[in-house]
Amino acid sequence: MKAAFIIFDQMTTLDLIGAYDPLTRLKSMNILPEFEWDMCSLTQKVADDRGLRFFPDTAGEPLGEYDLIFVPGGFGTRSLQFDTEFTAWIQTASSAKLKVSVCTGALLLGSAGFLAGKRATTHPIAFNELEPYCQSVVDQRVVDEGDVITGRGVSSSIDLGLFLVERLAGADARRRIAQQMDYPYWNLS
């Protein structure tokens, strides 16, 4: 199982890290030692919507080798959803068995065509923007369509990350990772 965490300029970092933390504990807590991941971007350098700068692990490489792609949201999605080069890059992940977004990252899955005929969610301020890309917009914290899973706003990333942990490694792994994260709200969403 290899995951691509997609990073881009003007993303919201909590959208990314909320799920990155529980998912990468699958490896660090030795629950799924074979779980691997890369931070993938189209550009050499990335800064979030408040200036925090990251190094990607891969830049401009196609995404065909990944089993899971995770797309965060943020202000950058508003223009990237109409950027044909970026969209073509996301589409190289079409064979990924799990396509996941948080917040306005759903607009990027949508512009790549991955939400066609699916139920999906996003930050409530972007419900209208998401509508053209999917069958219906759902006001739930996590929306599971099997191979496509979307989370609502920013902090829902933690809940979605724990949801994925359970999908990949079972309910006991979710409980153990939530405890290690000291997350008392793990069973509320």
What are the residue numbers of the active site?
A: 103
- With tokens 């044909």, the residue in question is 84
Burial of 82 (0-12, 13-18, 19+ CB in 10 A): exposed
Closer to a second copy by Cβ: residue 118 or 123: 123
The piece of 51-59, 63-71, 92-100, 106-114 that touches a second copy (CB under 8 A) is 51-59
Closer to a second copy by Cβ: residue 13 or 81: 13
Q: Which of 18, 72, 105, 110 binds a second copy (CB under 8 A)?
A: 18
Distance in angstroms (rounded) separating the CA atoms of residues 183 and 189: 12
Is residue 24 a contact residue for a second copy (CB under 8 A)? yes
Q: Which of 17, 29, 32, 59 binds a second copy (CB under 8 A)?
A: 17
Strands 142-144 and 148-151, by their bridges, are antiparallel
Strands 68-71 and 2-6, by their bridges, are parallel
For the CA atoms of the chain, what is the radius of gyration?
A: 15
The piece of 79-87, 93-101, 126-134, 180-188 that touches a second copy (CB under 8 A) is 180-188
Question: Is residue 5 a contact partner of residue 38, using CB atoms and an 8 Å limit?
Answer: yes
Q: Which residues bind a second copy (CB under 8 A)?
A: 12-14, 17-18, 20-21, 24, 27-28, 39, 49-55, 57, 103, 123-124, 141, 152-156, 158, 180-185, 188-189
